[in-house]
Every structure is written in C-alpha cells, then in structure tokens.
C-alpha cells in the first residue's frame, strides 16, 4: 500500500517567468533549485519539502500543454502551501506590503487538519491558498 506524505511538486505554465519568480521567490520565500536550458524551459523552485515547477509556455515543455493560461483556461483550481506557524497579522502585513490583494482568513480543513488560511493569486491568476496550522488538529470521523 502506498502512503502520501505531502505534495511533491506542482507544474505551472507561464508567459510571465520573471514576475512568477518575483512572486514565488521574493514574496513567498521559495528558492531556485535548478533551471534547464531556455529551450527546454523549466525552472524548479524549492517550496519547503516540495517543488513548484515553472514552465515557459513557449518552450519545448510548455508547448506540450497547449496555449497560455487565460481567464477561462487556468492550469488548476488552486493549490495549498502549508506554512510554518505565523500570525494572521504578520502574514497580512508581509503580503500587503508586497502589493497583494487578500481575501479574508477562514478556518479550513486540509491534509493536516484545520488551520487558518487565505487565498491569493500569482501573476498568472493561479489561486494559491496559504495555510498555517493551529495547535489542535481536528479530523473528520466520516
């Protein structure tokens, strides 16, 4: 039997590589782990114990997925990044100082139980949920 222990990686296709790098590295704290040739078009970012792969739409890899993301053709609904414990006030201050528009925090259930989370958008319009764990993990019985 297999056991999932976390997100390994996500692949996001982009036409705005520099803006995406600024968002994921400068604002969210990811680091560039490796980059392939411009022709292949893959940049892999370290996000905790997972990777976020950014693929240039006009590259060899990017062309495999069709046209660029648009308002009606996003690559995915959203993905959630689990954060180390951080106060909603500190997270809000950091994100708003970077010019982001924030939705309200809500208590949501995820892989690690309940935690406060909010949604933001990256430069391509992908929805990113940022979730911080609370002390008492509550799991559904059913």
Pick left, alpha or beta for residue 89 (phi over 0 → left; psi -120 to 50 → alpha; otherwise beta): alpha
User: What's the CA gap between 13 and 62, in Å, rounded?
Assistant: 6
In the predicted model, residues of the chain with pLDDT beneath 50 are: 2, 135-142
Q: Are the beta carbons of 83 and 130 closer than 8 angstroms?
A: yes
Q: Look at residue 133 in the predicted model and tell me its pLDDT.
A: 66
Domains of the chain listed by start with CATH number: 9-133 (3.10.180.10)
Structure confidence by residue, pLDDT tens digits, 103-140? 899 888 777 778 888 999 999 888 898 988 654 444 44
Residue of 28, 6, 31, 34 lying closest to 126 (CA atoms): 28
Q: Look at residue 135 in the predicted model and tell me its pLDDT.
A: 46
Burial classification of residue 122, based on how many CB atoms lie within 10 Å of its CB (0-12 exposed, 13-18 middle, 19 or more buried): buried
Place of tokens 């940049």: 43
């Amino acid at each position: 039997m297999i056991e999932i222990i976390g997100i390994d990686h996500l692949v996001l296709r982009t036409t705005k590589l520099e803006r995406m790098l600024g968002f994921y590295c400068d604002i969210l704290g990811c680091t560039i782990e490796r980059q392939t040739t411009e022709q292949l078009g893959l940049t892999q970012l370290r996000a905790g114990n997972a990777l976020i792969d950014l693929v240039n739409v006009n590259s060899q890899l990017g062309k495999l997925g069709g046209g660029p993301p648009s308002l009606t053709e996003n690559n995915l609904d959203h993905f959630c990044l689990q954060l180390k414990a951080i106060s909603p006030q500190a997270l809000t201050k950091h994100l708003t100082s970077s010019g982001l528009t924030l939705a309200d925090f809500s208590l949501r259930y995820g892989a690690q139980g309940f935690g406060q989370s909010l949604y933001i958008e990256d430069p391509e319009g992908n929805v990113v949920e940022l979730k911080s764990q609370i002390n008492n993990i509550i799991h559904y019985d059913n």
